[in-house]
Structure 1
Amino acid sequence: MKDTVDINCDMGEAFGRWRIGDTSDEQLFPHISSANIAAGFHAGDPNLIDETVKLAMQYGVAIGAHPGFNDLQGFGRRKIAGSSREFVNDIIYQVGALREFCRRHNTTIQHVKPHGALYMELAANADFSAAFVEYMRTAAPNMPIFCMGISETYRTAKLLGQPIVREFYADRDYDDSGSIVFTRDAGKPDPKAIARKVVRACVEGRVKTVRGTDITVDFESICFHSDTLGALDIVGEMREALTAEGIRIAPVSQILESHADQVLERQ
Structure 2
Amino acid sequence: MTRIDLNADLGEGFGRWRLTDDEQLLSVVTSANVACGFHAGDAVTMRRVCERAAERGVRIGAQVSYRDLAGFGRRAMDVPSAELAAEVAYQIGALEVFARAAGSRVAYVKPHGALYNRVVHDEEQAAAVVEGVLLADADLPVLGLPSSRFLRTAGEAGLPVVAEAFADRAYTREGTLVPRAQEGAVITEAEAVVERSLGLARSGTVTARTGERVAVRARSLCLHGDTPGAVELARRVRATLESSGVRVEAFA
TM-score class, shorter-chain normalisation, is over 0.9
1:244 paired to 2:219 = no
Look up the match of 1:122: 119
TM-score (norm 2): 0.94
The CA deviation string for residues 160-198 of structure 1, in whole angstroms up to 9 with x for no partner, is: 221001101011110011011131696671122111111
User: Which contiguous aligned blocks of 4+ residues in structure 1 show a shift greater than 4 angstroms?
Assistant: 184-188
Contact 1:192 1:234 in 2 (8 A): no
1:50 paired to 2:50 = no
The CA deviation string for residues 86-144 of structure 1, in whole angstroms up to 9 with x for no partner, is: 11111111111101112222321110001111111222211221232234345322211
User: What are the equivalent positions in structure 2 for 1:4-23 lying under 5 Å apart?
Assistant: 4-20=3-19
| Cα distance in 2 for residues equivalent to 1:238 and 1:70 | 32
| Cα distance in 1 for residues equivalent to 2:69 and 2:128 | 24
Amino acid at match of 1:9: A
2:92 to 92, 95, 104: 95
SS at match of 2:27: helix
SS at match of 1:82: coil
- Cα distance change, pair 194–149 in 1 and its aligned pair in 2 (3 A): same
TM-score (norm 1): 0.89
1:109 to 92, 101, 106: 106
Q: Give the RMSD, CA atoms, in angstroms.
A: 1.7
Higher helix share: 1
| Cα distance in 2 for residues equivalent to 1:57 and 1:203 | 29
| Cα distance in 2 for residues equivalent to 1:200 and 1:90 | 36
Gaps of 5+ in 2: none
SS at match of 1:110: strand
User: What are the equivalent positions in structure 2 for 1:12-161 lying under 5 Å apart?
Assistant: 12-20=11-19, 24-161=21-158
SS at match of 1:218: coil
- Cα distance change, pair 102–87 in 1 and its aligned pair in 2 (3 A): same
- Cα distance change, pair 13–106 in 1 and its aligned pair in 2 (3 A): same
| Cα distance in 2 for residues equivalent to 1:138 and 1:76 | 22
Amino acid at match of 1:131: A
Look up the match of 2:201: 202
Look up the match of 1:265: none
**Aligned residues between the structures:** 250
